[in-house]
Amino acid sequence: MRTQVAIIGSGPAGLLLGQILHKHGIDSVILEAKSRDYVLSRIRAGVLEMSTVAILDDIGVSKRAHEEGLVHEGINLAFNGARQRVDFAKLVGGSVLAYGQTEVTRDLMDARTAAGAETVFEANEVTPHEFDTDKPWVSYVKDGAEHRIDCDFIAGCDGYHGVSRASVPAAALTTYERVYPIGWLGLLADVPPAAEELVYSRHEDGFALCSMRSKTRSRYYIQCGADERVEDWSDDRFWDRLRELVDPETAESIVTGPSIEKSIAALRSFVAEPLRFGRLMLAGDAAHIVPPTGAKGLNLAASDVRYLADGLIEHYADNSDAALDAYSARALRRIWNAERFSWWMTSLLHKFDDGDDFARRLQIADLEHVIASEAAATALAESYVGAKL
């Protein structure tokens, strides 16, 4: 088989890249190690920057997002027993859209199927080859048979644990990492949200986040130990803990119900540099991880893909590699800014066992500064809403 771009991974990054390329007449094949149902079962983030929505608009995959997504013009910060709102619309004229990553993935999968573009699910032993030459190829095993795809480029969109970054020679790669000694225990339930916009709560006993996927489905998170087990958390225990960690107004508004899904996510900051290795380019979680506190994971993947697609489109349309040559540096500037913001939000709102009273008092002073200072609130709003691509 031959294609122009072999894409490894059918998460949002890989699917989004495939759809942009399809719009511009560039062929691609997506290889995915898991089944379609498995990919769609993964519960992930639910806040889209408007620059991400604009990409979906451009490729005609935003209809359901606009119909079902919830526009948020601010967030709430809860601390010292009270809730304070940061008004994005007033401060920076911006907003975000609450729409689940699973739904984005479903929309992109449906669009790819409608376009007749090929995705190979349950592709085992996927391996990129000779990407340091002008004739790269990818091998995989499907139903016991070995297959080969010859291509012009390979896009590694297969996540943190994927084969793409692992295939890069160690000497060519520099990585930066911070692993946090905490996790987020998340619960999804078909109950109305506790507030119209997200509530980020800093409590002396830990962090909590009240978010939503729709007007009837809510996603809640509480801080937990990195080594805790989901099995040890009953629904009742979760709801009781959540009420303890939020302000009284929010606690009173929480509607409880049986969980649809519960999971624990470890918190990690990670960046790999560079993002290009000959004809292999990394994008999304294959290149970087951010703690979810800043709502940047999916949005960073979308910006990576936009920049990478620009380079591939220019390569085929103009026989120029200028944009491809600039891809890594261009993407990394945005990545590191998002890493900074996500680290700051995480440090601001969580309880750390190694933190002393001085550190805790600084958290409160920082939160009070955000609420009292328009300049500080504007800086938060700018980062949360995201820059235009």
Find the radius of gyration of the CA atoms of the chain.
Answer: 21
User: Which residues sit opposite 276 in a β-bridge?
Assistant: 281
pLDDT reported for residue 228: 94
Which spans in the chain are helix H?
A: 12-23, 36-41, 50-58, 63-68, 88-92, 101-115, 163-166, 235-245, 248-253, 297-318, 322-349, 357-372, 374-385
- Asked if residues 97 and 113 have their Cβ atoms less than 8 Å apart, the reply is no
Q: Is the pLDDT of residue 317 over 70?
A: yes
Q: In 10 A of CB 356, how many CB atoms? A: 9
Residues 39/32, Cβ–Cβ less than 8 Å: yes
Res. 67: pLDDT tops 70: yes
Do 234 and 367 belong to one domain?
A: yes
In a shared domain, residues 121 and 59: yes
pLDDT band at 389 (very low <50, low <70, confident <90, very high): low
The pLDDT value given to residue 44: 75
Cis previous bond, 274, omega within 30:
yes
Residue 81, in any domain of the structure: no
Rounded to the nearest integer, the mean pLDDT of the chain is 96
Does one domain contain both 334 and 296?
A: yes
What pLDDT digit, counting tens, does each position of 75-102 carry?
999 999 999 999 999 999 999 999 999 9
Is the model's pLDDT at 41 over the cut of 90?
A: no
Give yes or no: 292 in active site. yes
Kindly state the percentage of the chain with pLDDT values over 90.
Answer: 95
Please indicate whether residue 181 is annotated as part of the active site.
no
- Whether 78 is in a domain gets the answer no
Q: What does the pLDDT look like over 18-31, one tens digit per residue?
A: 999 999 999 999 99
- Among candidate residues 203, 296, 315, 350, the one labeled active-site is 296
- Looking up residue 25, the CATH number of its domain turns out to be 3.50.50.60
- Could you read off the pLDDT of 126-143 as tens digits, one per residue? 999 999 999 999 999 999
pLDDT at 42: 81
Same domain, 186 and 325: no
Whether the per-residue pLDDT at 355 is higher than 90: the answer is no
pLDDT number for residue 132: 96
Q: Over the stretch 142-171, which tens digit does the pLDDT of each residue have?
A: 999 999 999 999 999 999 999 999 999 999
Give mean pLDDT, residues 288-297. Answer: 96
Q: Examine residue 92 and state whether it is found in any structural domain, yes or no.
A: no
Q: At residue 364, does pLDDT exceed 90?
A: yes
Does 210 lie in the same domain as 256? yes
CA distance linking residue 169 with residue 312, whole number of Å: 24
State how far the alpha carbon of 374 is from the alpha carbons of 89, 91, 201, 361, in Å: 13, 8, 20, 21
- 123 within a domain of the structure (yes/no): yes
Range of the domain at 235: 180-267+354-385
From the candidates 140, 221, 327, 384, which is the catalytic residue? 384
For residue 30, give the nearest of 211, 221, 158 by alpha carbon: 158
Q: What is the pLDDT of residues 326-338, one digit of tens each?
A: 999 999 999 999 9
In the predicted structure, residue 45 carries a pLDDT above the cut 80: no
Query: What is the reported pLDDT for 57?
Result: 97
| Same domain for 358 and 335 | no
- 190 contact partners, CB below 8 Å, separation of at least 6: 216, 217, 257, 260
Instruction: Find the catalytic residue in 99, 200, 220, 307.
Output: 200
For the chain, what is the largest distance between any 2 Cα atoms, rounded to a whole number of angstroms?
64
Same structural domain for residues 296 and 217?
A: no
Identify whether 129 is a catalytic site residue. Answer: no
Clarify whether residues 104 and 169 are in a common domain. Answer: yes
Quickly state the pLDDT bin for 264 (edges 50, 70, 90). very high
316 is an active site residue:
no
Burial of 304 (0-12, 13-18, 19+ CB in 10 A): buried
200 annotated active-site: yes
Asked if residue 341 and residue 361 are part of one domain, the reply reads: no
DSSP structural state of residue 255? P
Residue 160 in domain: yes
Question: Is residue 54 exposed (0-12), middle (13-18) or buried (19+ Cβ within 10 Å)?
Answer: middle
CATH number at residue 190: 3.30.9.10
Looking at the domain assignment, is residue 80 inside a domain? no
H or E stretch at 48: strand 47-49
- pLDDT digits 0-9 by tens, 108-126: 999 999 999 999 999 999 9
Same-domain status, 161 and 131: yes
As for how many domains the chain has, the answer is 2
- Spot the catalytic one: 292, 315, 327, 350: 292
Q: Read off the pLDDT of each residue in 235-252 and give the average, rounded to a whole number.
A: 98
Which residues make Cβ contacts (< 8 Å) with residue 47, sequence separation at least 6? 72, 96, 97, 98, 198, 211, 295, 298, 299
- The active-site residue out of 72, 203, 262, 315 is 72
Q: Are residues 332 and 207 in the same domain?
A: no
Tell me: do 102 and 152 sit in the same domain.
yes
pLDDT at 203 over 80: yes
Nearest C-alpha neighbor of 105 from the set 286, 310, 302, 258: 302
DSSP 327-366: HHHHHHHHHHHHHHHHHHHHHHH---TT--HHHHHHHHHH
